[in-house]
Chains A and B, each alone.
Chain A
Amino acid sequence: MHYRTLAKKSLLFHARSYLAYFYSCIFTVILFYLYTALLYHPILEDSMVSEAFVGLIYMVEVIIGLFAILFLGYSQSAFLHNRKKDLAVFQVLGMSVKQMTRLVFWENCMIGFISIVIGIGLSIACSNYFFLGISKVLRFQDPIVASSPGVPALVTAITFLFIFILLSWWSRFSFRKVSIRSLFHVQTATKKEPRFSIWLVGLALISIATGYGLALSSSLSQLAQLSLMIGVLLLIGTYFLITQTSVWFVDQMTKTSTVQERSLWFLFFTNLRYRLADHTKIIFMVSILTSIVLSVVGICIMYGVESERVAEKQAPFHLSVIDKEKVMNKQVVALMNKHEMKVKEEIHLPILTDVDEYSQYAVISIQSFNQLRKNQRQPLLQIGDKEAVLAKNSGIWKDDLQSVTPYRYQLSGLKQKPALKITHELTGIYFNEHDQTRFLLIVSEAQFHAFSQQVQQADQQVQIHGYQFNDWHKSKVLFEELSDQTNLINGTYLFHSFLLAVISPLTFVSCFIGALLLLGLGSILYFKSFTELSLDRNQMQVLNKMGLSFAEILRVYRKQISVLFYRPFVVGSCHAVIVMYAFSFLFDQTPWLMIGLVMGGYLILYSGYYKWTVYHYRKQASVFLT
C-alpha cells in the first residue's frame, strides 16, 4: 500500500470533517487568483489607476497569503490532533516521522490539487464579474476585460503548492508531540481546569473600560495614535473576561438546584465545564476575528452608504473659495449663471492670513465667525475685547467648546506682532476646510480692524466665499472649470469624490477579506465541533445506555455548539459597535440603523454556518447512536 493510497483512504473516510476546510481552501484560492489576475492586468500600467489602489491590492494579496498559511496551518494541526490515535498507531507500526510527513504531504497535495483546480476554474469563470466590480469602484466608463489567465493561474498554483509543502514539512513538529504511550492502558493526565480569580476579573473590567473610554472620547487624530494601546487593552480584557466569566458562570450554574434537577441542563453545564479550557481559547480567537471583520466591514459600508451625509457635514458649503486677489467672486458668479446653478445661501467674509505661507493661523472677527455659526444653526459666540478664541475647523475634531488655561499667541504677520490671550478653544466644522481656514483665531471686531491696518502685505487680507446650492450634485462642472483658475477651492462635491475614492476600494476589499475571515472562522468552529464529536462518541453512547433519547442527547451537544458559535459573536459585536460608534463622529447622528443592518447581515451568514455545522454534526452523531 503506497502513501498515496493510504492518504486517499484517510481523506475519503474523514471527508465530512474535511468539507469546510476544502470549501475554505477553494475560496482562498479564488480570492488569491482574482487579486493576482488584477496585479498582472495591463490596466495597472495605465496612469488612470492610482498608486494607492495598486498598493492596496498588493496588501490584500499579502493578507490572503498570510491568511492561507495561518488558516490552513491551523486546520492541519486540528486534523492531526483529531487523528492522534491513528498517528500513534502508525508510529507503533514503525512509521518514521519522515514517512508520516510524506503521508500528510500526499493528503495535502490531494486536497490542494483539487482545491487549486476547482478554485482557479471558478475564478476564471467569474473573473469578468470581479473586473466589472473593480471598474465600478475605479469609476471606469468602459469595464475592464479579464486578461489571459495563464500567469495568474501559474502564480496561484505555485504559491499554494509552496504553502502545502511548507505545512506538510511543519506537520513533523506535531508528530513529535504524539505519544505512543497513549495507546497503552495507562492513566492519562487530566485536563487542567481554569480557576476563577477576582483579580483577573478586575483587570479585565479595567482594561475593557479603559479601552472603550479611550475609543469613545478620542478624536480621529487621537484614535490613530491610541489605536495600538486600545487594541492591546481590549485583547487583555477580552481574554480574561471570557475565561473568568465562563469559569464563574458555569460553576454557579452547575451548583444551582434548578440546573441539578433538569438532566439536560445539568449535562450541558457539566460538559461545558469539562471543555472550558479548550473552549475559551477558541472563543477568544473567534471573538477577536469577529470584532475585526465586523468593525472593518461595518465602517467601510457605513461610510460608503452614508458618504453624501458625511460630505454635507464635513463640507457645509457646496462651493468655497479662498480669494486673495478679491476677483474670484465675479468669476464664480459668472460660472454659476452660465451653468444655471441656483444659490440657496451665500457668505463672504474677510480673514487675515499670516505673511508666512506655512503658518496655518488666520484671524477672523467675532461678527464674521458668528455668521458661520448662524449658518450652522449654532448659538452665537461672545468674546471680550482683549481675548481670543482658537477655532480648530476640521472634521478630525469633535464639536466642542472648552475653556483652556489662558495662553499667549504672538501674531507674526503683523507689523507690531501683538500677542493674543487665548482663553477658549473651539472644535468642529464651521467652514469648508482649507489650509487658510483650519485654525481661526477669533478676535473682537475692534481688534480685527486694528490688525487689518497692520498687515505687512496686501494679500494677507483675504476674502472667503461660501455658496450653498439647491442641488450640490450638479456642481461637478463648476469644480472642473474653476480648477483651471485656482486651487484654493473646496466643496461638498469635491469632499464626496475624495471620500468615495478612499472608501469604495476599501469597501470592495474589506468585504472580500471579511468574507474570507468569516469563512475561515466558521470553518475553525466547524472543525472544533467535529474534533469534539469524536471525543463525545463514548459519552453519547453512555448517555444513550442510561436512557436518554437521541434527540435529548443531541439537544445537549447542540447547545454546546451554539455557545461555541454565538458567544464570540456577542463579544465581537460589543467591540465592533464601540469601534463603529467611535468612527461615526463624522456623521451628524450615529447611524444606528446602518450598524444594525451590518450586524444583522453578518448574523444571518454566521447563523447559516451554525446551521450547517449542526446539520452535519447531527448526521455524524446519528451513526454512533442508531
Chain B
Amino acid sequence: MSVLVAKQVTKTYGQAGIGVPYQALKGIDLTVNKGEFVGIMGPSGSGKSTLLQILGSIEQATTGDVYIQNQHLDELTDVNRAQFRKSHLGFIFQDFQLLDFLTVEENMHLPLALNQIKHKDSQQKIAKMADILGVREILKHRPHELSGGQKQRVAAARALIHTPAVVLADEPTGNLDSKSAKSLMQALVKLNQQELATIVMVTHDPYTASFCDRVVVIKDGQLFHELYAEKERSRFHQRIVHVMTALGGEHDALSYLG
C-alpha cells in the first residue's frame, strides 16, 4: 500500500522577470509504500533536499502533485498543513534540532503532547521508544549533556514516537562519526522493521544509504537511477558507490550495473 506518492513534481526558484529562474526539480515521480525505507541520493545541488522539503509540506511544488496517505498536500490550508505535519509526519535533521530547554524525555514527549495523547499512553510510548533507541539511561539529561550520536537517537525517537505516516530524514548521519552513524542506522532499521515505520532519508553517504530498502538517485533535478537492496548489504553498498562514482563523471562505471 503506497503511503507517499509524488507525480511529476517540479520546482522552480526565482520569479519570471526577476533574475534567472533556476529549476531545482524537473518532473520527479516517486512512490513509497508503507514500511518502506527509501534513500534519496545525489550530488550537491541535485535537488534532493528540495524534494524532501516538498514531501514534508515545507516547500510547495511549482507543478505536480504530492499525496501522503491520499491527502493532496497542495489542498491543505496553513492551519491544516501544521495539523497534518503534527500527526502524519516526523522529521530528523542533520543538526539534531533538539530543544535545549527540555530534557530528553520532554523532547520525546512534545509530539505526543501536541497530538493530545493521554499521559499513561505517552509514558508507555516514551519507555518503548527509549528502549529501542537505547536512550533510557539519558532520559533526564539535557541535550547539551549528550554526545552527537545520543542526540541524533533522541531526535529519531522524537520523530517516530507519535507513529507518523512518514519519517523524513535529512542527512541524519552527516554530523556523526562512523560508529554512531552505524548505531543510528541500525536503530532506524529496527524501527522500520518492528514498527513498520516508513522512512524517506536524504544522504550523500553510500554506507548510510546501504541500510535502505531502496535508493533513488537524483541528478540535476531528475531521476537518474533506482537501486534495490540485496541480501548482502556490502554488495548493495558497492553498487551504490559505483552509481555515485558514475555520477561524478566516470560514466563507464555504469556498465558494471548491467
Smallest CB–CB gap between A126 and chain B, Å? Answer: 35
Interface string of A73-115 (1 = CB under 8 A from B): 0000000000001101101111111110000000000000000
Establish whether residues A94 and B100, one from each chain, have CB atoms under 8 Å apart when the complex forms.
no
A94-B85 in contact (CB<8A): yes
Q: Can you name the residue of chain A whose Cβ is closest to the Cβ of B59?
A: A181
A377 contact set on B, CB distance < 8 A:
none
Chain A CB within 8 A of B86 CB: yes
Task: Enumerate chain A residues within 8 angstroms of B106, measured Cβ to Cβ.
Answer: 1, 9
Interface string of B154-194 (1 = CB under 8 A from A): 00001000000000001100100000000000000000000
A95 touches B114 (CB 8 A): yes
| Among A89, A91, A92, A98: residue with most chain B CB under 10 A | A92
With A94-B82, A96-B82, A185-B170 as given contacts, are A13 and B97 in contact (CB-CB < 8 Å)?
no
Q: Please measure, in the bound complex, the distance between the C-alpha atom of A303 and the C-alpha atom of B58, giving whole angstroms.
A: 62
Q: Is A184's CB under 8 angstroms from B93's CB?
A: yes
Is B82 within 8 A of A1, CB to CB?
no
Contacts of B158 in A (CB 8 A): 93
Q: Of A86, A96, A183, A185, which contacts B79 at CB under 8 A?
A: A96
Please determine whether A1 and B110 come into contact, CB atoms closer than 8 angstroms.
yes
In the bound complex, residues from chain B placing their C-beta under 8 Å from that of A93 are 85-86, 91, 110-111, 114, 158
User: How far is it, in angstroms, between the C-alpha of A184 and the C-alpha of B102 when the chains are bound?
Assistant: 21
Residues of A within 8 A of B82 (CB): 91, 94-97, 99
Is B121 an interface residue when CB atoms closer than 8 A count as contact? Answer: no
Asked if B114 and A94 make an inter-chain contact with CB atoms under 8 angstroms apart, the answer reads: yes
Is A184's CB under 8 angstroms from B53's CB?
yes
Contact present for B97 and A9 (CB under 8 Å): no
Query: B94, A185: Cβ atoms under 8 Å?
Result: yes
Grouping DSSP codes into helix (H, G, I), strand (E, B) and loop, the A interface class, with mixed when no group exceeds half, is helix
Classify chain B: how many residues form its interface, as a range.
Answer: 35 or more
CB distance from B167 to the nearest CB of A (A): 12
> In the complex the two chains form, is B99's CB within 8 Å of A89's CB?
yes
A361 to chain B, nearest CB (A): 69
Q: Judge whether A10 is part of the interface by a CB distance below 8 angstroms.
A: yes
Give the Cβ gap from B91 to chain A, nearest Cβ, in Å. 5
A14 at the interface (CB under 8 A from B): yes
For residue A117, CB closer than 8 A to chain B, the reply is no
A365 to B113, CA, bound (A): 94
Judge whether B151 is part of the interface by a CB distance below 8 angstroms: no
With both beta carbons as reference points, the residue of chain A lying nearest to B87 in the complex is identified as A94
Instruction: Tell me whether A189 is interfacial, beta carbon within 8 Å.
Output: no
Minimum CB distance partner of B144 in chain A: A623
Contact string against B for A residues 540-561, beta-carbon threshold 8 Å, 1 for contact and 0 otherwise: 0000000000000000000000
Q: Which residue of A lies closest to B89 (CB)?
A: A94
Q: A-facing mask of B101-132, CB < 8 A → 1, else 0?
A: 11000100111011000000000000000000
**How far in angstroms is the closest Cβ of chain B from A19?**
16
Distance in angstroms between the alpha carbons of A96 and B95 in the assembled complex: 23
Residues of B within 8 A of A184 (CB): 49, 52-53, 58, 93, 170
Tell me the bound Cα distance from A94 to B82 in angstroms. 4
Q: How far is the CA of A88 from the CA of B53 in the complex (A)?
A: 14
A12 to B98, CA, bound (A): 17
A229 within 8 A of partner (CB): no
Who on chain A is nearest to B158 by CB? A93
Residues of A within 8 A of B59 (CB): 181
Q: Determine if B85 and A13 form an interchain contact, defined as CB atoms under 8 angstroms apart.
A: no
Contact between chains at B99 and A86 (CB < 8 Å) = yes
Which of B82, B93, B106 neighbours the largest number of chain A CB atoms within 10 Å of its CB? B82
A180 within 8 A of B: yes
Complex interface bits, B68-82 against A, C-beta within 8 A gives 1, otherwise 0: 000000000011001
Contacts of B109 in A (CB 8 A): 1
Tell me the minimal C-beta distance from B45 to chain A in angstroms: 9
Interface contact A185-B113, CB-CB below 8 Å: no
B53 touches A181 (CB 8 A): yes
Q: Which of B85, B94, B99, B113 has the most CB of A within 10 A?
A: B99
Assembled-state Cα–Cα distance A92/B94 (Å): 14
User: What is the chain B residue whose CB lies nearest that of A10?
Assistant: B101
Point out the residues of chain A lying under 8 angstroms from B58, CB to CB: 92, 180-181, 184
Which residues on the A side are within 8 Å of B78 (C-beta)?
96-97
| B8 in the interface (beta carbon within 8 A) | no
Chain B residue with the shortest CB-CB distance to A98: B79
- Bound CA–CA A99/B97 (angstroms): 20
- Closest-CB distance, B209 to chain A (whole angstroms): 16
Complex contact A186–B114 (CB within 8 A): no
Asked whether B102 lies within 8 Å of A185 as measured between CB atoms, the reply is no
Contact indicator per residue, chain B 34-69, by CB within 8 Å of chain A (1) or not (0): 000000000000000110110010110000000000
Within 8 Å of chain A (Cβ to Cβ): is B83? yes
Q: How far is the CA of A404 from the CA of B56 in the complex (A)?
A: 81
Q: Are A9 and B52 in contact (CB under 8 A)?
A: no
Closest to B171 in A: A185
Q: Give chain A interface residues in 1-33, CB to chain B under 8 Å.
A: 1-2, 6, 9-10, 12-14
A9 to B49, CA, bound (A): 33
CB distance A89 to B86 under 8 Å? Answer: no
Q: Say whether A9 contacts B102, CB under 8 Å.
A: yes
Contacts of B113 in A (CB 8 A): 1-2
Could you tell me if B101 and A13 are in contact, using CB atoms closer than 8 angstroms?
A: yes
Closest to A11 in B: B101
With both chains docked as a complex, state the minimum distance between the C-beta of B24 and any C-beta of chain A, in angstroms.
Answer: 10
- Once bound together, how far apart are the Cα atoms of A88 and B101, in whole Å? 15
19 contacts between A and B (CB under 8 A): A1-B113, A2-B113, A9-B101, A9-B102, A12-B101, A86-B100, A91-B85, A93-B91, A94-B82, A94-B85, A94-B86, A94-B89, A94-B114, A95-B82, A97-B79, A97-B82, A181-B58, A183-B93, A185-B94
Interface residues of A (CB under 8 A from B): 1-2, 6, 9-10, 12-14, 85-86, 88-89, 91-99, 180-181, 183-186
- Which 6 A-B residue pairs are closest in the complex by CB-CB distance? A94-B86, A13-B101, A1-B113, A96-B82, A94-B85, A185-B94
9 new A-B pairs (CB below 8 Å) besides A93-B91, A94-B86? A1-B109, A1-B110, A12-B101, A13-B100, A94-B89, A96-B78, A181-B58, A181-B59, A185-B171
